[in-house]
Structures are given as C-alpha cells and as structure tokens.
Amino acid sequence: MSHGFTHDVVVIGGGGHVGLPLAIALAERGSKTVIYDVSNAAVDTINAGELPFSEPGAQPLLQNALDAGMLTASTAPATVATARTVIVVIGTPVDEHLNPDPSAIPRALGACSGYFRDGQLLVLRSTLYPGVTALVERMIADLGVDVPVAFCPERIAEHRAMEELFTLPQIVSSRSVEGRARAEELFRMLTDKIVHLEPEEAELAKLFTNTWRYIKFAAANQFYMMANERGLDFERIRGALTQDYPRARDLPGPGFAAGPCLFKDTMQLAAFSDNSFTLGHSAMLVNEGLPLYLVSRLEKRFDLANLTVGILGMAFKAGSDDIRSSLSYKLRRVLKFKAKAVIATDPHVTEETDDTLLPLELVLEKADILILATPHEEYRGLRTDKPVADVWNHLGNGVLV
C-alpha cells in the first residue's frame, strides 16, 4: 500500500445490502477492507461476526475476514483517510414527489470530504441520477486533491450477492485514464469480465437495467389481470407460450414488483426524460396498482367489511427479510380501510423490524381470507380450508378468487 495507507479499501455506507457483501468479497479476495457506516447497530453487528440482514453465504466469509484481520467496521469518518480506494454505496434517493435528489451523494460525501487524500481512488457504486458522477468530479476538484473518480454500478440481486459479485460482468467507467485502470484492477479481483463505458453511459446503463426489469414485471402483471378478468389461468397460458420458445423465455410470472430499486430507478429515468417516459409511468401504474386490484377482486366476492384478512409475507421478495418498499405494506394499508381486520405474518421478518406480525399458525386460525403476498418457500404446500388469493400461483391454485 502506497502513500502510507493502512487499508486497501474503505466502503462508505458499507453496512447495507450493497456495501457489506462487496466489502466481504473484497476482503475474501485479499483486500484489507474497512467499512465506514453511520449506524452503530450495523457496525457492532458486523464486528461481532453477524449480518444485519439475510444474505446467503455471506456470514461464514464475514467471520473468516474478521478472524484474518482483513475486515473491520467503524463509525469514525476518519477511516476514510486510511484506504487507497474509497467506495461509496450511497445512492440517489427520490422524494415524496418522485423527484431525484442529485445533491444527496455530494452532500453525504461532504461529511467526510476532509479525509480525502492524494493518491486515493473514489469509486461510486450505487445507482446515480445521470450527471451525479460529474457533480462529484467537480466536488473533488474543488477540494484540490488528486483523486480520480470512477462509477462502477452494482447489479447484484439480494440473496445472490455472494455468487453474482464473482460471476457478473462489471461495468467500469471513469473520465480519467488512471481512474479507469485502477477501477478495473480493483474489480478484476472479483471477476475477469470488465465492460468499459463513459460515466454518463454507465449511469444510464444502471437505470436501464432496473427499469427494463420493472417494465417486464408490469407486462406480466397486466397480462395476468387480463386473463384473470376472463376467468382464465394466466400461469397455464404463460407455461404454454414459454415452453421451448426462446423469444418468450424472459416473460416473468405475475406478482408484486417491489423493493428499493426498481420503482425508484424507473422514476429517476422518468425525471431524466423530463417526465415524458410514458412507458415507465404506465409500468408504475400497473405494478403499484396490483395490491388495489387484488382488494377490488376480493370485494366483488366477499363482504370484506365483516371479515378478517390474513397477509402471508411482508418482505418484498421471497426468502428475504427486507421490507423496504414492500407492496405488502401498501396492501395492508388498503385492507385496513376495507376489511374488518388485517393480520400478517412472515417467517423472515423479525420483531425488531415489524412487531405487529403474528405466527403463521395464528394467522391461519384467525383469518377468514388469506392473501399470499410474498412467495416464501415456507408457504409451499400450505394446507388451509380458507380462500387464498395467490397472484404468484405459488400454491398452484390458478385463477384468483
């Protein structure tokens, strides 16, 4: 390590779903890594050898890295000065009006800007609103330090991080020849597949990636509603049209398209196009409207005002404990206005995250109607004599009630 750095890498915001798997992977591949995070709880959990969230395969590697002295976590911003490479995993948020805040990352970096040093490389990792890389470049230039900036977007899926960090091609971008070379060197520790873009191209590539998935889910959900309105089983139709037919193999099944990225990034792209992104807005209306559609269908068949509805699954995706932007919570809010009572359960979401949840057995006993909102494997083969609304067709029960 040159310039007196004591670490190879510091990951700013490294206690979360993006930063922690990356920090663990880099430490496992031989980079002495430190995590800087403002959350005391996350830092204490990591230093104790535990994960603050569920990520298969990560915990043993975390413990190995801690035992080998290759990884540690801290709440001290001064740790930023200790590493040759600074990776930032703070993304661009959208506000309640669906407007992106392009100053969020420069503002967050401002809190530790006094610790940047000549010889460092700054790698931006999370989704950026187009033009934010250039904003950060200007901020670094104003500091008067020799720190090239790179944008290398992550594209991993939760619960696949410890596989995909080592197998997916890595997009690398920088306006600086040195920045591009050093970023490539860094990520070649994880994968041999490096794809070069210019920063603005990489910013759009990341947004296009998530928005494309969101649009595909919207198409599937719209098809599902069309078939279901006619009493037809969409999953049978999808199974037939995708069978050995390559041009339809990427048609997903229906279900809640949620989580912290897809909706947010689609709205960022809409803002970037001066709100002329009709396809993106249409996808949002379909996907965000699916909970309302389910409740509307139930209202047509049942007297919801006199019934208790049980929601199975509150995490935003199967097998996860992550409730960020989960449409199960939107579903619950709607049902609170429509049903006599609403109760919910989830095998992965802890009491610390949501203390309103009940055990599955109690929900099955007390509910008059069930909605399978998250297709956790624990619900496979569920036996109940209660009506079940299962948009995922997880239980193989075909047409929605």
pLDDT for the residue 156: 92
Q: pTM for this one? A: 0.92
- Share of residues in the chain with pLDDT > 90 (%): 86
pLDDT for the residue 325: 92
Encoded tokens for 110: 């401002």
| Model pLDDT for residues 327-348, shown as the tens digit of each residue | 999 999 999 999 999 999 999 9
Q: Are 258 and 323 in contact (CB under 8 A)?
A: no
- What mean pLDDT is predicted for residues 22-51? 96
- 21-to-60, 120, 212, 291, 390 alpha-carbon distances in Å: 12, 22, 24, 32, 32
Instruction: Give the separation between CA 352 and CA 356, rounded to whole angstroms.
Output: 10
Q: How confident is the model at residue 1 (pLDDT cuts 50, 70, 90)?
A: very low
pLDDT for the residue 398: 62
Q: What is the CATH number of domain 7-203?
A: 3.40.50.720
pLDDT for the residue 114: 93
pLDDT for the residue 90: 85
pLDDT for the residue 3: 65
Q: Is 159 left (phi over 0), alpha (psi -120 to 50) or beta?
A: left
Q: What is the 3-state secondary structure (H, E, C) of 263-297?
A: HHHHHHHHHHCCCCCHHHHHHHHHHHHHHHHHHHH
Using the predicted structure, report yes or no on whether residue 21 has a pLDDT greater than 90.
yes
- Share of residues in the chain with pLDDT > 70 (%): 98
- The one-letter amino acid code at 397 reads N
| Model pLDDT for residues 37-47, shown as the tens digit of each residue | 999 999 999 99
Q: Which of 323, 210, 201, 219 is nearest to 266 (CA)?
A: 210
pLDDT for the residue 13: 93
- What mean pLDDT is predicted for residues 308-320? 95
| Model pLDDT for residues 356-400, shown as the tens digit of each residue | 999 999 999 999 999 999 999 999 989 899 999 999 999 887 656
| Model pLDDT for residues 120-136, shown as the tens digit of each residue | 999 999 889 999 999 99
Average pLDDT of the chain? 94
pLDDT for the residue 165: 97
Q: What is the CATH number of domain 210-389?
A: 3.40.50.720
Intervals of CATH 3.40.50.720 along the chain: 7-203, 210-389
- What mean pLDDT is predicted for residues 76-98? 89
333 in helix, strand or coil? helix
